[in-house]
A and B are shown apart, each in its own frame.
Chain A
Amino acid sequence: MTAALSISLHVNGERVDAQVLPRLNLADFLREQLKLTGTHVGCEHGVCGACTVRVDGEIVRSCLMLAVQTQGASVETIEGLSDSGEIADLQAAFRDRNALQCGFCTPGMLIAAQDLLKQEAEPDRERIRAHLAGNYCRCTGYQAIIDAVESTALARRGKRA
């Protein structure tokens, strides 16, 4: 096993200094070292989307990044997005529409949905389905999630108008 390396980054706005083995992926770093277990691991081969986080504002699959690659970066997890209130309306829509059942896909789903809503003000249902097509959910069958994202987009447009 090779030696640990020092990294310094921001996680949810907080400065983090850590020692990590090169092979430690970002998802495991967040979960095991920082105890931010809201980021979930579903496949470790980049297909299910449960591990979705934001790095420097862009959504990524944290199982496909090494912790050492986040040197100097700003990482945001579901805990951070929740505490800042950034997705409060989206979460409320998920709650009202029951767009989550077991909740395991939900953090990744919310982050991916927020990514879409930041880029597009009027996504239609097909567009929402396409943007979320890389986030696996086994419980809901997706429709409630699409409904919740659609209604949030509508409400945000209403506020801007």
Chain B
Amino acid sequence: MTSSPAGKQTLSELDRPNSYIGKVVPRPNLERLMQGRGLYVSDMELPRMAHVVFVRSPYAHAKIISIDPGAAKRMPGVIAVVTGEELASVITPWIGVLSHLKGLKSAPQSAIAIDRACWQGEAVTAVVASSRAAAEDAAEAVAVQYKELEAVTDMRNALDPRTPVIHPSLGDNLAFERNLDAGTVDAAFAGSDEIVEAEFVFGRHTGVTLEPRAVLADWNAAEARLTIYQGTQAPHMVQNLAALHLGLEESQVRVVCKDVGGSFGIKVHIYADEMATYALSKLLRRPVKFVADRVESFNTDIHARDHRCKGRIGVKRDGTIVAFEIDDLTGIGPYSMYPRTSAIEANQVVNLIGGPYATKNYRARARVVYQNKNVMCQYRAVGHPIACSVTEGLVDLAAAKIGMDPVEIRRRNLIADDAYPCASPSGLRFELLSHHAAMNKLMTMMDYDGLRAEQTALRKKNIHRGIGIASFIEVTNPSAAFYGVGGAKISSQDGVAVRLDAQGAVICQTSITEQGQGSESLTAQIVGSVLGVSMSRVRVILGDTDQTPYGGGTWASRGAGIGGEAALQAAKILRKNILDVAAAILQSSPSELDVADNAVVNATDGTPRIELRELARIVYFRPDTLPPGIQPELMATRHFVPREYPFAFTNGVQASWLEVDTDTGFVKLLKHWVVEDCGTLINPQLVDEQIRGGVVQGLGAALFEKCIYDERGQLTNANMADYLVPMSGEMPDIDVGHVVSPTAESELGAKGAGEAGTAGAAAAVANGVNDALKPFGATITEIPLTPQVILTALKRI
């Protein structure tokens, strides 16, 4: 259901004369990227810059007996070889806990391991040299003596009393446990007609950003100032934590992002080797650059989604879902990641199970356990893919059990479009969603009945196609409820400063950041629209803590909804200020004037009265010609933070149409659809492309991606030939449609859209494969759905 925004004022801000809101316009500054003239941190060079390479533990768990850097120090080009103990005098350790995650416990983590390495790939020594190659040569010569310790590598045994406790001071390997019991679950199951149970197993994933993590830390001892060039999503957070652990004031740290070659949440965390790089720069009093190579990336970029989730659903014969229950187990690394913690993903799973559905009966237990594997933390759509795959998988199983069509069972249980505002059994507050409108739109877009008929006809020819449906909700625009309440210095508000320059063009500084999703463009589109200025005359500055307002950055799909609203409000104020001056110049009143197409115009008929260029000239150079007493202000700053709702929930539904070759187990993805409701669309093309990119990450999860650890905790597929990411040859075209339910929290009405594609894609594919295999009585509840897994389920091997 499309709701009209509240109030005339909201309507007017989005429907202004030369508005770009809702329009497809090319992003500014793409030329630079297309010509290979972008500037990524991995491209950067500074005078006297040195390169750091880390000697990394080959063992999942080992005591470090000794480190002999002697031979390495003598090698050509080597500047320093630094151990964890030596670096500890420059940078303090940290603990990845937040107070609102009750019971979350973690051990202190140092920038470089001291005494003990706790995962294969953890840094144990830093080698700084004049080139990466020289540092690598020297790293081979660092003699480290290890005593291998027993490693915890199976999450199912992590809490077994016979399993070693990784951090004895913590007592056990349980990082976090959450329990939830809502409604009357036992009574509901007792009263159901059918109960279905399944265990859902997920492959451990990693982001595989094409530009690996890259940091250039530049400690200027003369200025006592550290400049960190880093493609982080949250520069103010990095500024705060670098300062904290290096014993500096925030004002002594500047973080600059530059162009970022992909992030998806991978680059929003604090990494030990990056903290080590900042510390090394301070220690050595020169710029130090760290660029993870691809093997390092696989071993040390955060992993995600390593879950085993037992799920249970109770249903009545008429299709009413009466209860959901889950018992989720996730095995992270040896430390909870800093500062966002490695409990958030499991916490989200508990929050989100059953989210689209009306049932009030829900019980959940989630346990997060430590392992001697790489650290794990938030990656695009955090927890949603797990929750959606489990929920949508259970719903399909229930439908199959009672012989009901999967779309029909959803129609009988999705929260009604007029039921809002309401809350989920897990306490999520929904402002306004559109599950039914989205489903209706999907049915039309994909011609559901047509595909069912085609499926039936092809089955007779031994061709097995399947349709998979996945409804989902998605967290966006988070308030301080996500991290701030737990004590994290992660800002949940953002700010935008806009000013008119002396030629009447606009300079805009925003605290959100750009990794390719279009933050720069959405800001320019909003400012251009609200101010009445051509986009080509709006320059956006972002990703620099010295040059932008203080803010949270871009993550959890908050850039458009929060940063966009700040841009809107700031532009409104600037427009008012412009009209105040214009009224004085024109001897009119502000209510009779407006700004459109780079000029002050009559509000009634749009007749240009004075160009902004001319107004700026007067203000900046000829204020003597203005009426007495006027102090023009051609700059405005506004911040925005969501206050009413902890999260702006969005909703959508996805569908996958695929074919399974039952002889070979191969799955061919024929087509994919997404209907998404993310409120006001600032640039529909950018939103759709975010969704497509997110979907393909989910398709990768469904069919290809898995970090494969052996029982000794060795990551055995840490390269691009063996960890399979989706490439163009196997991906389908993806049709995207929208329903629009704006949020009333902001004038812009925009919710977030960056993660929705990833939330539901794997669930849709898994349901599609099971749908295709129905004639064979095979049901698979693990991903990735490799040919091996499928042939095994079909009992062909």
Contacts and interface: CB of A to CB of B under 8 A. Distances in A.
Query: Do A and B touch each other in the complex, judged by CB within 8 A?
Result: yes
Interface of A: 1, 23, 31, 36-45, 47-48, 50, 77-79, 82-83, 91, 94-96, 98, 100-107, 110, 125, 128-130, 132-146
B261 A98 contact: no
B619 interface: no
Nearest to A131: B728
Q: Lowest 9 CB-CB distances: which A-B pairs, in order? A: A38-B36, A103-B33, A101-B516, A104-B261, A102-B516, A141-B696, A78-B36, A133-B729, A47-B720
Contacts of A42: 210-212, 294
Given A23-B133, A135-B728, A141-B731, A47 B36 contact: no
Contacts of B293: 44
A138 B697 contact: yes
Nearest to A48: B720
A142 B137 CA distance: 38
B693 A141 contact: yes
Contacts of A110: 34
A94 B720 contact: no
Interface string B701-744: 00000000000000000011100011111010110000000000
A1 B75 CA distance: 10
B40 A104 contact: yes
Contact of B38 (A1, A95, A103, A133): A103
Interface stretch (B23-31, B346-354, B407-415): B23-31
Contacts of A77: 36
B76 interface: yes
B721 A47 contact: yes
Nearest to B37: A38
B729 A130 contact: yes
B292 to A, nearest CB: 11
A130 B726 CA distance: 13
A83 B729 CA distance: 30
A37 B43 contact: yes
A47 B515 CA distance: 23
B213 interface: no
Contacts of B137: 1
Contacts of B26: 95-96, 98
Interface string B681-713: 000011001001111110000000000000000
Given A45-B294, A102-B516, A103-B261, A138 B33 contact: no
Contacts of B33: 100, 102-103, 106
B693 A101 contact: yes
Given A101-B517, A143-B731, A37 B262 contact: no
Contacts of A134: 727
Among A41, A48, A101, the one with the most B-chain Cβ atoms within 10 Å of its Cβ is: A101
Interface residue range, chain B: 35 or more
Interface string B502-524: 00000000000001111000000
A104 B43 contact: no
Contact of A1 (B76, B212, B515): B76
A141 B692 contact: yes
Given A31-B43, A106-B34, A142-B731, A43 B264 contact: no
B210 A91 contact: no
A129 B729 CA distance: 5
B294 A95 contact: no
A74 to B, nearest CB: 18
A44 B210 CA distance: 12
A82 B728 contact: no
Contacts of B725: 136, 138
A148 to B, nearest CB: 11
A79 B262 contact: no
Contacts of A133: 727-729
Nearest to A102: B516
A20 B695 CA distance: 44
A134 B728 CA distance: 8
B43 A98 contact: no
Among A78, A101, A141, the one with the most B-chain Cβ atoms within 10 Å of its Cβ is: A141
B689 to A, nearest CB: 5
A136 B42 CA distance: 18
A98 B211 contact: no
A102 B693 CA distance: 11
B91 interface: no
B259 A138 contact: no
A11 B527 CA distance: 42
Nearest to A100: B33
Nearest to B722: A47
A39 B294 contact: no
B210 A102 contact: yes
B210 A107 contact: no
B438 interface: no
B208 interface: yes
